């Protein structure tokens, strides 16, 4: 076994803005595992919100190269890296290699039904109400829109989008940008605007108020949810969790988290960082039969991989094994 670590940059179509800032490129790391004639690949996105960077993730992965070359297994690797981007890329590369070695698709390795196409949300970047309305008009044909919000002016933003896309379902993501007072002010207005879900309204380290605040709209934990260890904190504060591969540390933990969360009565959203189809492919499997799919990363890029997931509007189609799994 040999290991390659690749640092890649993919241009975004325009600028992508959330409450924490803007970006024009998606910075990803790809892990390649090479064994005989087979190559397994996995992609991750280091995320500064969780103290990650390209440099830090490469530094986490580099020392494992020798152990991998000596035969470290996917199961053994789980305890050597924390839940996060580094373990995600490596875990997904192991799964891809396993599929290629056994000549099976990922659903066959998992012993589950062949996946079906999915309808993904499409994200409208944080902007002025006028610009978000224009973006809504341009994407009004999409069945589900996700709006990036920030706090002040959010009701105006959502109202503008609702005017621009009157028939679309709408979910919103505050990215920890609200406080308790804003929550109480904004949520009743979002009910009137038929918003179906609010993602992470309060900071992850200060969300205890959600235990007693009214929840007329489904609340989804994003930054508050990483792996199964997050669930005791989440239950009673949120109705749904957002499973992202870069938070769980790979497909292995993502599937385990999904199963345990469903047993606890939580609804499931499967989301993504801004990345290529290589990162979406494992998440596509986790996103089967969930309430909300948010895997639009490739739609927001100016360019995707040559072997990529194809989209019919907002419908994600089943990918070929040349991409992954």
Dihedrals phi, psi of 205, to nearest 5 degrees: -90, 5
d(CA 224, CA 260): 16
- For position 21, what pLDDT does the model report? 80
What mean pLDDT comes out for the span 23-45?
Answer: 96
Phi, psi dihedral angles at 12 (to 5 degrees): -90, 150
The domains of the chain, with CATH numbers, are 2-105 (3.30.390.10), 118-316 (3.20.20.120)
At 225, the pLDDT band (50, 70, 90 cuts) reads very high
In angstroms, the CA 246 to CA 244 distance is: 5
Token pair listed for 245 = 């591969």
**pLDDT at site 146:** 98
Query: Per residue in 39-51, pLDDT tens?
Result: 999 999 999 999 9
Q: Considering just the CA atoms, what is the radius of gyration of the chain in Å? A: 19
Pairing of strands 38-44, 118-119: unpaired
Copy the structure tokens of residue 190. 């979002």
With residue 145 as reference, give the H or E element that holds it.
strand 144-148
Q: How many helices (H) and strands (E) does the chain have?
A: 12, 14
* Residue 15, pLDDT above cutoff 90: no
- Within 10 Å of residue 308's Cβ, how many Cβ atoms? 19
Residues 79-90 pLDDT 10s: 999 999 999 999
* Cα 60–chain centre separation: 21
Share the mean pLDDT of the chain: 97
What is the model's pLDDT at position 87? 98
User: In this structure, are residues 93 and 31 in contact, taking their beta carbons and an 8 Å threshold?
Assistant: yes
Q: Is 244 a catalytic residue?
A: yes
Tens-digit pLDDT profile for residues 289-307: 999 999 999 999 999 999 9
Report the half-sphere exposure of 120 (CA within 13 A, side-chain side).
28
Given the residues 146, 244, 247, 258, the one annotated as active site: 244
Smallest Cα–Cα separation from 159: which of 181, 123, 192?
192
Helix (H, G, I), strand (E, B) or coil at 110: helix
Count of alpha carbons within 13 Å of 57, Cβ hemisphere only? 29
Non-local CB neighbours of 185 within 8 Å, separated by 6+ positions = none
pLDDT at 37 over 80: yes
Contact 121, 145 (CB under 8 A): yes
Selecting among 148, 192, 194, 247, the annotated active-site residue is: 148
pLDDT at 22: 85
State the pLDDT at residue 286.
Answer: 98
Is 263 labeled as catalytic in the residue annotation?
A: no
**Residue tagged 């996995």 (tokens):** 42
Read off the pLDDT of residues 245-272 as tens digits, 9 standing for 90 and up: 999 999 999 999 999 999 999 999 999 9
Locate tokens 């990483």: which residue? 226
The answer on pLDDT for 19 being more than 80 is: no
pTM: predicted TM-score of the whole model, two decimal places: 0.96
Neighbours of 322 (CB within 10 A): 9
Rounded CA-CA distance 86/56 in Å is: 9
pLDDT grade for 14, boundaries at 50, 70 and 90: confident
Q: How confident is the model at residue 222 (pLDDT cuts 50, 70, 90)?
A: very high
């Amino acid at each position: 076994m040999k290991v390659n670590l690749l640092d890649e940059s993919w241009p975004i179509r325009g600028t992508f803005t959330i409450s924490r800032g803007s970006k024009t490129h998606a910075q990803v790391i790809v892990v390649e595992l090479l064994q005989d004639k087979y190559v397994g690949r996995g992609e991750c996105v280091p995320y500064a919100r969780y103290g990650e960077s390209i440099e830090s993730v490469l530094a986490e992965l580099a020392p494992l190269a020798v152990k991998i070359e000596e035969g470290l297994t996917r199961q053994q690797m789980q305890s050597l890296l924390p839940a996060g981007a580094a373990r995600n890329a490596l875990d997904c590369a192991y799964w891809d290699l396993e599929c290629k070695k056994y000549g099976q698709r990922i659903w066959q390795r998992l012993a589950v039904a062949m996946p079906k196409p999915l309808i993904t949300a499409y994200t409208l970047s944080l902007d002025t109400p006028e610009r978000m309305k224009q973006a809504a008009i341009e994407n009004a044909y999409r069945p589900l829109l996700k709006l990036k919000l920030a706090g002040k002016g959010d009701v105006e933003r959502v109202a503008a989008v609702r005017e621009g896309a009157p028939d679309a379902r709408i979910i919103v993501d505050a990215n920890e940008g609200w406080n308790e007072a804003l929550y109480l002010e904004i949520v009743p207005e979002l009910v009137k605007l038929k918003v179906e879900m609010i993602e992470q309204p309060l900071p992850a380290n200060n969300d205890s108020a959600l235990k007693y605040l009214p929840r007329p709209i489904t609340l989804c934990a994003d930054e508050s949810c990483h792996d199964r260890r997050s669930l005791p904190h989440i239950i009673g504060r949120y109705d749904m969790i957002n499973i992202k591969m870069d938070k769980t540390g790979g497909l292995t933990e993502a599937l385990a988290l999904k199963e345990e969360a469903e047993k606890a009565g939580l609804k499931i959203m499967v989301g993504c960082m801004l990345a290529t189809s290589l990162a979406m492919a494992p998440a596509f499997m986790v996103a089967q039969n969930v309430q909300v799919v948010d895997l639009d990363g490739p739609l927001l890029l100016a360019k995707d991989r040559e072997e990529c997931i194809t989209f019919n509007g907002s419908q994600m189609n089943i990918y070929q094994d040349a991409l992954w799994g």
